[in-house]
DNA sequence: ACCTGAACACCGTTCAAGT
DNA sequence: ACCTGAACACCGTTCAAGT
C-alpha cells in the first residue's frame, strides 16, 4: 500500500493514520492536477491541519519521495534486467520508454527529477541517482557493442527522457514519444556519419 | 525601443508613460527571474497600481507578446533567409540553434511557447505560428534534398527546440545544446538505417 | 480615458499553544 | 509526541470610485 520510503518507526496511531491519509490524498491530487498541486488543499482534503502535513513531509519533495521512491527503485531494477536483452540498443530503448512513462505519472514531475539528480539535499536525490546509474549501465553496454556513439552520457539520456516527457505534457503524449525516438536515434552510431559536433558538457557553472 | 506589437494608437500621455515603464520593468524582471515572475511585483517596481498593469496587459501572455513579438517575427525572417544556405540541413541547424537561444531569454518561456502555438486565443499564437511556419519551410527544403527523414514534422522541430531549451534551463545550457544536437541528428536520413519506428502524432485529443 | 487601491480568494511556511 | 490553527508575507484578478 505504502509506495515509498517507510515512515519513522513506531508512529503513534493517530499520526500513522494522518500520514496515510496524506499520502492517499496527495497521490490522487497529483495524478489529477499535477505535482505542483496545492499542499494546503491536500491537507484540507485529508482532513488535517496544514501544520500536520509539514510535520510529516517538510517539503514537497519529501512527499513525492514517499509516493514514488519505490517506483523509481523498481525502474532502476528493470534497467538491470534489461542488461540481458538480446540487443543492447533495444534494451536501452525499452527502458527509456518505461522511464519516460514513469515521469509522466504526475504532470510537471520532470522538472523536479531534473533538479533532484543534481541536488544532494533533495529527498529525491538518491532515487534519481539510482535511475541515472541504471541508464548509465544500459548505455555502457550499447556503447561497447558499438551501437551508440561513444560520447553519449548518462546525463544526456536522463535529460532526454525528462525533456521528452515534458514535451508530451505540453502538447500530446505521442509528441513526447516522437521526441524520445528522435533523440535515441540521434544516439546511434549510424547517426555519426556527417554528424554534428556535440557541445561539450562543462561541469555545473556554480 | 518598444520590442513588440505597438500599443493602441494615441494613448494619453500618462498612459503611454505607464505602458513603457511596465514594459521596461517586465523585461528586466523576466530576464532576471524568469517569465513566471510576479506581475504584482512588476507593477510595484514600475510605480503603478496593479490594476494599471491589467488595464494595459490583460494577461501575462499579452505582456510577453509586447516584449517578444518583434523578436519572434525576426526569428521567422532569419529562417526565410537561411532557405538560401548552401546546405539545407546546415541552414536548419543554424536556425534551430537561434530559435533555442531565443526561447532561453526568459526562464520558463518554453512552456508558454508550446501552449501558445496550439491555443488560438493566446496573444502569442500568431508569433508562434510564424516561427513554426519558418521551421516548416527549412524542414521541407532539407526533406526534398533527402537530408532529413520524410516523416519529420514542423511540430517535431518546434517541440525539440523548446524541450531542449527547457532541459538547458533545468541543468545547464550545454546540456540543452547537446539535446538539440542529438535530436537534429535523429532527424537525419542517415539515422533511418535500422531506425526505430516513429510514433504517429494523433490530432490533439480534445 | 485612464488610474487607484481595496476586495476576494487563494498560496507556502512557521510556530506557539494545546492534548 | 503529535496536532491545531492562527500568523505572516505573499499571489492573481476584478472592479467601484475617483480624476
**Sequence spans of domains, chain B:** 13-58, 61-187
Joined together, the cell numbers standing for residue A51 give 501544520
Tell me, yes or no, if A25 comes closer than 8 A to chain B by beta carbon. no
Beta bridge partners of A188: A148
From chain B residues 124-183, the ones with a CB under 8 A of any chain A CB are 152, 155-156, 159-160, 162-164, 166-167, 170-172, 174-175, 177-179, 181-183
Distance from CA of B44 to the nearest CA of A (A): 26
Average pLDDT (B78-98) is 96
Q: What 3-state DSSP class applies to A3?
A: coil
CATH architecture observed for domain A13-58: Orthogonal Bundle (1.10)
Please answer whether residues B134 and B76 qualify as being in contact, where contact means their C-beta atoms are separated by less than 8 angstroms. yes
- Mark yes or no for CB contact B201/A166 under 8 Å: no
Output B35 or B195, whichever has higher pLDDT: B35
Joined together, the cell numbers standing for residue B71 give 523578436
The rounded distance, in Å, linking the Cα atoms of A104 and B184 is 24
Residue with cell 517578444: B68
Tell me, yes or no, if A184 comes closer than 8 A to chain B by beta carbon. yes
pLDDT at A9 over 70: no
Residues of chain A neighbouring B147 (CB-CB closer than 8 A):
none
Average pLDDT (B160-181) is 96
DSSP chain B: ---SSPPSSS--HHHHHHHHHHHHHHHHHHHHH-TT--HHHHHHHHTS-HHHHHHH-SSHHHHHHHHHHHHHHHHHHHHHHGGG-SSHHHHHHHHHHHHHHHHTSSTTHHHHHHHHTT-TTSTTHHHHHHHHHHHHHHHHHHHHTT-B-TT--HHHHHHHHHHHHHHHHHS-HHHHHHHHHHHHHHHBGGGGTTPPPPPP------
pLDDT band, residue A201 (cuts 50/70/90): very low
pLDDT band, residue B14 (cuts 50/70/90): confident
Contact flag, residue B11 CB and nucleic strand C, below 7 A: yes
Measured torsion, CA atoms of residues A116, A206, A132, A135, in degrees rounded to the nearest 10: 140
Q: In chain A, where does DSSP find H-type helix?
A: 13-33, 39-46, 50-56, 60-81, 88-103, 109-116, 125-144, 154-170, 173-187
Please answer whether residues A89 and B195 qualify as being in contact, where contact means their C-beta atoms are separated by less than 8 angstroms. no
Mutation to test the A interface, candidates B91, B94, B118, B167, most A Cβ within 10 Å: B167
Closest CB from B118, B179, B188 relative to A159? B179
The answer to whether the A13-58 and A61-187 domains have the same CATH topology is no
Q: State the pTM of this model.
A: 0.91
Please answer whether residues A138 and A83 qualify as being in contact, where contact means their C-beta atoms are separated by less than 8 angstroms. yes
**Mean model confidence pLDDT for chain B:** 90
Rg (CA), chain B: 19
A61-187 sits in which CATH class?
mainly alpha
Closest CB from B111, B174, B201 relative to A200? B174
pLDDT at B67 over 70: yes
Contact flag, residue B20 CB and nucleic strand C, below 7 A: no
Smallest CA–CA distance from A147 into chain B, residue: B194
Please answer whether residues B18 and B56 qualify as being in contact, where contact means their C-beta atoms are separated by less than 8 angstroms. yes
Burial class from Cβ neighbours inside 10 Å (0-12, 13-18, 19+) for residue A180 reads buried
Average pLDDT (A87-100) is 96
Residues of chain A neighbouring B189 (CB-CB closer than 8 A):
none
What is the pLDDT, as a whole number, of residue A12? 82
User: For residue B120, how many other CB atoms are within 10 A of its CB?
Assistant: 9
Report residue B5: phi and psi, to 5°. Answer: -60, 135
Joined together, the cell numbers standing for residue B18 give 505607464
Amino acid at each position: 500500500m505504502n509506495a515509498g520510503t517507510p515512515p519513522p518507526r513506531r508512529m503513534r496511531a493517530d499520526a500513522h493514520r494522518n500520514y496515510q491519509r496524506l499520502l492517499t490524498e496527495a497521490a490522487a491530487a497529483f495524478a489529477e492536477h499535477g505535482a505542483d498541486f496545492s499542499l494546503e488543499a491536500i491537507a484540507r482534503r485529508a482532513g488535517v491541519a496544514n501544520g500536520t502535513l509539514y510535520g510529516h513531509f517538510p517539503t514537497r519533495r519529501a512527499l513525492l519521495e514517499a509516493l514514488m521512491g519505490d517506483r523509481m527503485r523498481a525502474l532502476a531494477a528493470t534497467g538491470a534486467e534489461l542488461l540481458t536483452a538480446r540487443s543492447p540498443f533495444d534494451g536501452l530503448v525499452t527502458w527509456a520508454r518505461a522511464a519516460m512513462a514513469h515521469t509522466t505519472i504526475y504532470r510537471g514531475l520532470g522538472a523536479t527529477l531534473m533538479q533532484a539528480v543534481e541536488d544532494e539535499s533533495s529527498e529525491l536525490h538518491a532515487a534519481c541517482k539510482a535511475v541515472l546509474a541504471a541508464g548509465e549501465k544500459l548505455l555502457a553496454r550499447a556503447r561497447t557493442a558499438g551501437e551508440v556513439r561513444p560520447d553519449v552520457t548518462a546525463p544526456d539520456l536522463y535529460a532526454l527522457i525528462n525533456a521528452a516527457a515534458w514535451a508530451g505534457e505540453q502538447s500530446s503524449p505521442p509528441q513526447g514519444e516522437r521526441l524520445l525516438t528522435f533523440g535515441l536515434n540521434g544516439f546511434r552510431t549510424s547517426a555519426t556519419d556527417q554528424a554534428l559536433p556535440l557541445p561539450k558538457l562543462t561541469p555545473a557553472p556554480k
